[in-house]
Amino acid sequence: MATVLITGGTGLIGRPLTAALLEKGYEVIILTRDPARYTMHTTRLSYAAWDPAAGVIDIAAITKADHIIHLAGAGVADKRWSKKRKREIVESRVKSGELLVKALKETSNKVQSVISSSAIGWYGPDSKEQNAGFTEEAPPAADFLGQTCKQWEASIEPVTQLGKRLVKLRVGIVLGKEGGALKEFLKPLRFGIASILGSGRQVISWIQLEDMVRLYITAIEKDNMNGVYNAVTPSPVTNKQLIMALARKKRGRLYIPVYVPSFILKIILGEMSIEVLKSTSVSCNKLSKSGFIFQYPTITAAFNDIK
């Protein structure tokens, strides 16, 4: 069976993706900055070291791989966006992309496809002209995330000149209770509070974690997938719809909706507040036309397993 090399395979998407690939019989190598932390090596799962900031990568891992899934990057919402943090967010993606390209160029290898993450941060906020959902042809936004995604995608693009099939997934907000946005949305509900952010009318384009995992595997397996795809469901929701659906699922009728004013979010989050307050409606038409079927197409379905 083929070997899949996953960069940043230790994170929210990488962990269930690794489990799903192993379940399907693939061999998996995880490229991590800290392989000593992971001792769960088996005959089909191993960890290899790299340090994108220093330009160091375990070449043996590259030579063994048939496919590469590129997930690595400093968490966009993990810390306040100081100048230093913004540089880290960009460089962790650009330097890692460039390092993969360099390794593939300089090492004899059998890699057929590279599936790279990107994000719907590529697109700016919805506008009057654009309200039917951004499609893949839309230009990048001029803001921080738009320009980060532009550089991120450009850094991995040269693999196509090396004859590799490249799929870039512009990932929406991933909903999985193990981490990311959903874990944050769940926190106040422990105290019976459904916190609606700002007006709550801002549109969130999202994808359930299991669908996200299946999509990365589909992108490996379907040779006719090529180029950019928006990785979002057909049913974006407003922040209020999402929070209320979650509150009903988690607490029945025992919750109090509380609006967190925009100015408070601006104080707490700084520049990052723009992202939680902005509407981004993104189209999944190209993905659906490719034949991908969502198992969790609606927000109610996505919250099925929440207890």
Ligand X SMILES: NC(=O)c1ccc[n+]([C@@H]2O[C@H](COP(=O)([O-])OP(=O)(O)OC[C@H]3O[C@@H](n4cnc5c(N)ncnc54)[C@H](OP(=O)(O)O)[C@@H]3O)[C@@H](O)[C@H]2O)c1
In the complex, the smallest distance separating the C-beta of residue 292 from ligand X, rounded to whole angstroms, is 17
The reply to whether 236 sits near ligand X by the rule CB under 6 A is: no
User: Which residue in this structure is represented by tokens 């407003």?
Assistant: 238
Burial of 83 (0-12, 13-18, 19+ CB in 10 A): exposed
From the list 88-96, 190-198, 267-275, 281-289, the region that binds ligand X by CB under 6 A is: 88-96
Q: Nearest approach, Cβ of 74 to ligand X (angstroms)?
A: 4
Give the integer Cα–Cα distance in Å for 264 and 197: 10
Report 240-299 residues binding ligand X (CB under 6 A).
Answer: none
Q: Do residues 52 and 113 touch, judged by C-beta distance below 8 A?
A: no
Residue 242 to residue 306: CA distance in whole angstroms: 13
Asked if residue 174 binds ligand X (CB under 6 A), the reply is yes
Q: Is 140 in the site for ligand X (CB under 6 A)?
A: no
Question: Is residue 239 within the footprint of ligand X (CB under 6 A)?
Answer: no
Q: What is the DSSP-derived secondary structure letter of residue 139?
A: P
From candidates 32, 202, 208, 230, binder to ligand X by CB under 6 A: 32
Give yes or no for residue 96 binding ligand X (CB under 6 A): yes
User: Please, which residue, 3 or 96, has the CB nearer to ligand X?
Assistant: 96
**If binding is defined by CB under 6 A, does position 205 make contact with ligand X?**
no
Q: Which stretch binds ligand X (CB under 6 A): 72-80, 217-225, 267-275, 285-293?
A: 72-80
Distance CA 268, CA 284 (A): 32
As a whole number of angstroms, the distance between CA 190 and CA 298 comes to 24
For ligand X, the closer CB: 121 or 255? 121
- Structure token digits, residue 258: 């509380």
Considering only 117, 195, 230, 280, the residue that binds ligand X (CB under 6 A) is 117
Q: Which is closer to ligand X, CB of 99 or CB of 111?
A: 99
User: In whole angstroms, how close is the CB of 35 to ligand X at the nearest point?
Assistant: 8
Task: Pick the closest to residue 99 from 39, 45, 44, 155 (CA basis).
Answer: 155
Check residue 119 for interaction with ligand X (CB under 6 A). yes
Ranges assigned E (strand) in the chain: 3-7, 27-32, 45-51, 56-57, 67-70, 113-119, 165-171, 173-175, 193-197, 203-204, 206-208, 227-231, 237-238, 256-260
Q: Among residues 2, 11, 44, 49, which is the contact residue for ligand X, using CB under 6 A?
A: 11
- Give the span between the Cα atoms of 7 and 5, in whole angstroms: 7
> In whole angstroms, how close is the CB of 145 to ligand X at the nearest point?
10
State which of residues 5, 6, 14, 189 lies at the interface with ligand X (CB under 6 A).
14
CA-closest candidate to residue 295, choices 180, 230, 214, 218: 214
From 3-11, 18-26, 240-248, 270-278, span contacting ligand X (CB under 6 A): 3-11
Single out the segment in contact with ligand X by CB under 6 A; choices: 65-73, 213-221, 252-260, 265-273. 65-73
